[in-house]
Amino acid sequence: MKENEVKLFQNSSIRSVWDNINEQWYFSVVDIVAALTEQANFQTARNYWNKLKERLRKEGNESVTNCHQLKLRAQDGKKRLTDVATTEEILRIIQSIPSKKAEPFKVWLAQVGREHIDEINDPEIAIQRAMDTYLSKGYDPEWIIQRLQSIKIRRKLTDEWDKHGIRKGVEYAVLTDAISKGWSDLTTREYKDLKGLKKESLRDNMTDLELVFNMLAEATATDMTKTRNPDGFQENMQIAKDSGIATKSARIALEKQLGHFVVSPENNFSNNIDNFETKKLSAQKSEVVEQKYLEKYGKDSDEVLILAHIAHFGSITVKSGLDNLSGISKRTLQRRLHSLVEDGVLKQMGKTNRTIYYSNEKS
């Protein structure tokens, strides 16, 4: 079985799995029910499917009898057994669901199957589809090329893991965390928290440099695995740690030359934080900013909002900054940051005010 994929039918997510042996898709039935009945609530869609399944079973409908159960990732991130069905079985099931979306869904099912066959015959089609998807989301073309390269490098690593008996799922995640922790000092979850991400892809929200170092760490792990030929999970874990540590040395050397950190709170979804988050930060200023600074600068001052931002996210860059969040222009932001550095509240990393990082107060 191929790893779980999420496919989109109009605005609905349909979890799916490709069976390499039988060369067919399995689709989450409850996701399809939710899409066809336009149920936003998962539990409501699940109840609808349970009642329909019981009725179809009493009628002797073979599509229900032939339904499989596979572990698919649920909304809370955990994998749970879920009713799945093939394209042929799904077509039979949807005949029992009154929906204006039934016909468009049949067309969609046919398209999904055709696209997979096309991609097997010509891998360039899959690459072009990925490129088109990223472009439609507003990503920079040069970043997309790097991202596609990172996918290629990741696949080489997971191929080596497969050869050495590493199981998909938990073991993949643990080794990935070890590599991430090694080069960035952050686990995947900690990295996502830094960027304000929940379910979004971490790699899709990395800067150019972050992607480069992540690729370097995983490419190093691939070569080490080929060279050392590890036996068992623990030996693979040691390689994951060693590749991360080796890449960290390169990261630190570059940071000394650049004058700022590679690991960044920036993301590609909301340019760090949106207006809602700005209001949220404003409401939390008294909790994250020391009282002496609230008294010195004033509770509603630009300086306090900047300090709240840094306390919350760890850093601030003039490039993205607060200019589209709270009405502070870049020039004003630079002046405020310069003033905070002179006051000994912040420490400037590098020769310019392009990137300012929160540091201990100079005493």
Q: What is the CATH number of the domain that holds 287?
A: 1.10.10
Q: Which of 51-60, 213-222, 330-339 has the highest mean pLDDT?
A: 213-222
Same domain? 94 vs 184: no
In a domain? residue 269 = no
pLDDT at 177: 94
16-54 per-position pLDDT tens digit: 887 766 667 788 888 888 888 887 778 888 888 888 888
Q: What is the pLDDT of residue 350?
A: 45
261: left (phi over 0), alpha (psi -120 to 50) or beta: beta
For residues 212 and 302, membership in a common domain is answered with: no
The better pLDDT of the pair 354, 232 is held by 232
Q: Are residues 287 and 348 in the same domain?
A: yes
136 in a structural domain: no
161 shares a domain with 55: no
Query: Between these two residues, 89 and 4, which has the higher pLDDT value?
Result: 89
Residue 338 predicted with pLDDT over 50: yes
- Is 237 a member of any domain? yes
Statement: residue 278 has pLDDT above 50: no
Domain boundary among 232, 258, 284: 258
Q: Domain of residue 19: give its range.
A: 5-121
pLDDT band at 340 (very low <50, low <70, confident <90, very high): confident
Tell me which of 191, 223, 258 is where a domain ends: 258
Residues 98 and 17 in one domain: yes
Same structural domain, 73 and 27: yes
- Total of domains in the chain: 3
Asked if pLDDT for residue 217 goes beyond 90, the answer is yes
* Max avg pLDDT among 113-127, 171-185, 260-274: 171-185
Residues 253 and 154 in one domain: yes
